[in-house]
Amino acid sequence: MSWKLTLPCTRAEAETIDAAEDFGIDPAPVLMTTETVEDDTETWRLDAYFEAEPDDAAIAAIAALVPSAAGTPPQVEALGDEDWVTMSQAGLEPLHVGRFFVHTAAYADAVPAGARAFLIDAGRAFGTGHHETTSGCLAMLDRMADRDFRNVIDLGTGTGLLAFAARELWPTARVIATDIDPVAIDVTAVNATLNAVDRVELVVADGALSDDITAAAPYDLLIANILAGPLMSMAPEVAAIAAAHATIVLAGLLETQRADVVAAYAACGCSLEDVDRRGDWSVLRLTAGAERFVPTAPIDPKGRDGWALDL
């Protein structure tokens, strides 16, 4: 028997929930957020699916994700013997972006002819493609298919989806996918096997300072779908591993944060070339300077913000 815990939440909370949160529960719950009233930022819902009845500690851990629900008793219900993972994903409609079709197992038979399908089930890492930032990145990459990239890195890969898209678009390129969370790298490895994606190198790393990352630099395409604060604080280290005239795709930022993010990268010699705005979110394409950026001082990872997983 499986169980579902439901709490109300806001859109802002839904967009910052970390699906790879370590709750100390094995197996970890599957988290799903849903807009319950169209275009109402305050009326969303969080559903957490468990394989066993959640105890008080598990309920408290989920409730901590949605402060706006303080004082609201969570709804906890038994689901019987249904396939709870498939049921939890039933609300995730497939996404068709350019040549890519991103779907859960529930839509495995709905792949359009000629599309490159990626089976990405919701689970312990973000990046199903359904958030505006991830779908915007897919669209941005798809529009660059006629370019010739040789060395690609996806910083904060989450489920691996954007790295997989890069492998599809530039099959001869070296592609590296990194994440601060080992769980995300494990999920990416599983997803790579499920989707017959090969030759994507996986690295557990905090930011871009890992020896494995710097040794493979410079990169001519850099993708970072994280959050605005980390994007800004990481600007020098991202720019430092970029080749001259490299393309940098940044996402995870609100439109209201765009100017600050652009300014952080402009200070490192990068210029804004394109913006794909999706709702309140923006995906940026920048070009690195004509000469490789060299930081004027050593970068101390302890002095910059922590960063989040791919949305």
pTM of this structure: 0.73
DSSP sequence for the chain: -EEEEEEEE-HHHHHH--TT---S-SSPPEEEEEESSTT-TT-EEEEEEESS---HHHHHHHHTT-GGGTTPPPEEEEEETS-HHHHHTTT---EEETTEEEE-GGGTT-PPTT-EEEE---SSSS--S-SHHHHHHHHHHHHTTTS--SEEEEES-TTSHHHHHHHHH-TTSEEEEEES-HHHHHHHHHHHHHTT---EEEEE-STT--HHHHHT--EEEEEEES-HHHHHHTHHHHHHTEEEEEEEEEEEEEGGGHHHHHHHHHTTT-EEEEEEEETTEEEEEEE--SS----SS---GGGS-------
Asked if residue 287 has pLDDT above 50, the reply is yes
The mean per-residue pLDDT over the stretch 66-74 comes to 94
The mean per-residue pLDDT over the stretch 279-287 comes to 92
- pLDDT given for residue 18 in this prediction: 56
- pLDDT given for residue 128 in this prediction: 45
- pLDDT given for residue 124 in this prediction: 44
- pLDDT given for residue 82 in this prediction: 55
- pLDDT given for residue 12 in this prediction: 83
Tokens of 242: 């970029």
- pLDDT given for residue 310 in this prediction: 41
- pLDDT given for residue 30 in this prediction: 76
- pLDDT given for residue 220 in this prediction: 98
The mean per-residue pLDDT over the stretch 178-202 comes to 93
Q: What is the dihedral of CA 170, 141, 205, 301, to 10 degrees?
A: 130
Residues 6+ apart with CB under 8 A from 93: 107, 130
User: What phi, psi does 79 have (nearest 5°)?
Assistant: -110, 0
The mean per-residue pLDDT over the stretch 46-71 comes to 90
Asked if residue 173 has pLDDT above 50, the reply is yes
Tokens 């994507």, located at residue: 200
Tokens 């957490």, located at residue: 48
- pLDDT given for residue 131 in this prediction: 61
Among residues of the chain, what percentage have pLDDT more than 90? Answer: 56
A 10 A CB-CB count for 247 gives 23
Handedness of CA 104, 144, 248, 173 (dihedral sign): positive
Please tell me the least confidently modeled range out of 110-114, 244-248, 305-309: 305-309
156 among annotated binding-site residues:
yes
**Per DSSP, what are the bridge partners of residue 200?**
175
- pLDDT given for residue 50 in this prediction: 85
CA angle (240, 226, 204) in 5-degree steps: 70
- pLDDT given for residue 88 in this prediction: 52
The mean per-residue pLDDT over the stretch 62-85 comes to 83
The mean per-residue pLDDT over the stretch 220-246 comes to 94
A 10 A CB-CB count for 277 gives 13
146 among annotated binding-site residues:
no
CA pair distance 230, 2, nearest whole angstrom? 37
Dump pLDDT digits (tens) for 109-158.
899 999 999 998 765 434 444 467 888 999 999 999 999 999 999 999 98
Looking at this protein, which amino acid is placed at residue 121? D
Asked if residue 87 has pLDDT above 80, the reply is no
CA pair distance 266, 142, nearest whole angstrom? 25
CA angle (156, 157, 161) in 5-degree steps: 155
225 among annotated binding-site residues:
yes
134 among annotated binding-site residues:
yes
The mean per-residue pLDDT over the stretch 40-58 comes to 86
Average pLDDT in the chain: 85
Sorted by where each starts, the structural domains of the chain and their CATH numbers stand as 2-88 (3.30.70), 95-303 (3.40.50.150)
- pLDDT given for residue 38 in this prediction: 64
Dump pLDDT digits (tens) for 16-33.
775 445 566 777 787 877
